[in-house]
A = this chain, B = another copy of it.
Amino acid sequence: MSKQLPLVPVESLCCSPLMRQPLTEDQSVELARVFKALADPVRLRLLSLIASHAGGEACVCDLTDAFDLTGPTISHHLKVLREAGIIDGERRGTWVYYRVLPTALQTLSTVLMAPDQAEPVTA
Contact = CB atoms under 8 A, between A and B. Distances in A.
B112 A108 contact: yes
A-side interface size class: 35 or more
Contacts of A102: 114
Contacts of A36: 35-36, 39-40
Contacts of A43: 32
Main secondary structure of the interface of A (DSSP, over half): helix
A32 B39 contact: yes
Give 5 nearest A-B pairs by CB, closest first.
A109-B112, A36-B39, A28-B41, A19-B51, A35-B39
9 contacts: A18-B47, A19-B105, A20-B52, A28-B44, A38-B39, A39-B39, A102-B114, A108-B112, A109-B117
